[in-house]
Chain A
Amino acid sequence: MRLITHNMLQCHVKGCTKDNFPLKLEEIEIEELEAEFNADFIKSMLNRLDWKALAQTTFSLGIAQLPEEMPEELSDEMLEQLHHILLEIDITSGRMVCQGCNHVYPIRNGIPNMLLTESEV
C-alpha cells in the first residue's frame, strides 16, 4: 500500500467515528517503487490530502520532514518530493491501528487486511 492510499483511509468499524484517522502505522517495512511523475495528478490530489496526517506519517516513518501546513505555492521540487512520498513508498508489512477503537489491520505481503468481525459491522 502506497502512502497516498494510507492518507485516504480511516477505520471502517461500525460506529467508530472519533480518532479514526489516520490509522497509526506500526512495525512497518517499506520498499521503494518507481512511478512515473505526473505533476497534474499530484495537483489534483492536493485538496483531498490531509496534510497534517501526511506530515505526521512521513515524519514517524523517517521518510521526510514536511512543513506543518501545506505551502500555498508548491514548487516543482516540492511536487516531485510529494510524488515520491505518495506514490513511490510502498508499505509491505506491519499493521495499522485505529486510535479510536483499537482495531488492528494487519498488513501482509503489501496487502492490508480490512476484514471485520461480526460485532464490528
Chain B
Amino acid sequence: MSRPEHQAPAEIVYNDTEAKKYTVNTRIQAIQADMSYRALELLNLPEDKCCYLLDIGCGSGLSSEVLEDEGHVWVGVDISPSMLEVAQERDIQGDMFLQDIGDGFGFRPGTFDGAISISVIQWLCNADKKYHNPKKRLARFFSTLYSSLARGARAVFQFYPENPDQVELIVGSAMKCGFTGGLVVDYPNSSKAKKFYLCLFAGFADDPSNSP
C-alpha cells in the first residue's frame, strides 16, 4: 500500500468520503486511540489536573476524544475540511481550526499545557504547493509551536517517518527552534507494531532564565 502522503495533499486525500470511512473504521479507531493514550502518557501532565491542550492534525477528533475523555480542554487544528466536518458531527467539545500547520500558529505565548499529534508531521516533509519549502515550513511550525507552549510543557508526536533522513530533518528542525528531547520507539523489533514518538520539551518550568 502506498503512503497516503505520496498520493496527494492531506486535504485531498481526506475528502468527504475518505473522512467518513476513516472515522467509522473500528481498526483505525482503536489504533488512533491507543497512540493518543500513549502520547498523553508521554506528555507527563500533573495527575488529575484539567489541562488546556493542543491536538495538531486532529482530523475527525479520534485523538481529541481521548484528551476529552481524560478530562482535558482541547483545541484542534486540521487542514482537511471534510475531517473537521465529521468531527463537528460527533459528540465532542473542543475548538477546531481549519489550518495548515506549515503556516505556523497564532496562539499567544505560553497558551498550552501540552500538545499531541497523531500520524501527522511526516506530511510536513512534502511540498504540496509550488511555493512550499519543507525546511521553512518545519521551522515555522516548530518555532510558533514552541512559543505557544507554556515553559516546561511537552509536545508529543506519533509519526510515520519514511526514512532516517526524514527523522533527522524533523528532529533537527525542532532542536533548532529551541526544543530539547528525542525519539521514543515502541516495539522496535516488530515491523508491524513499531511506533515512533517524538517527545519535545519547551524549556524548563523552573529555569529562571525563562521568566520574563
Contacts and interface: CB of A to CB of B under 8 A. Distances in A.
Contacts of B96: 1, 110-111
Interface string A40-84: 110011001010000000000000000000000000000000000
Interface residues of B, number: 32
Interface of A: 1-2, 4-5, 8-12, 14, 20-21, 33, 35, 38, 40-41, 44-45, 48, 50, 87, 109-116, 118, 120-121
Interface of B: 49-52, 73, 75, 77, 79, 84-85, 88, 93, 95-100, 102-108, 110-111, 129, 131, 140, 144, 150
A5 B73 CA distance: 10
B84 A9 contact: no
B99 A9 contact: no
A121 B140 contact: yes
B110 A12 contact: no
B134 to A, nearest CB: 13
Given A33-B93, A114-B77, A121-B103, A8 B98 contact: no
A1 B75 CA distance: 9
Contacts of B100: 114-116
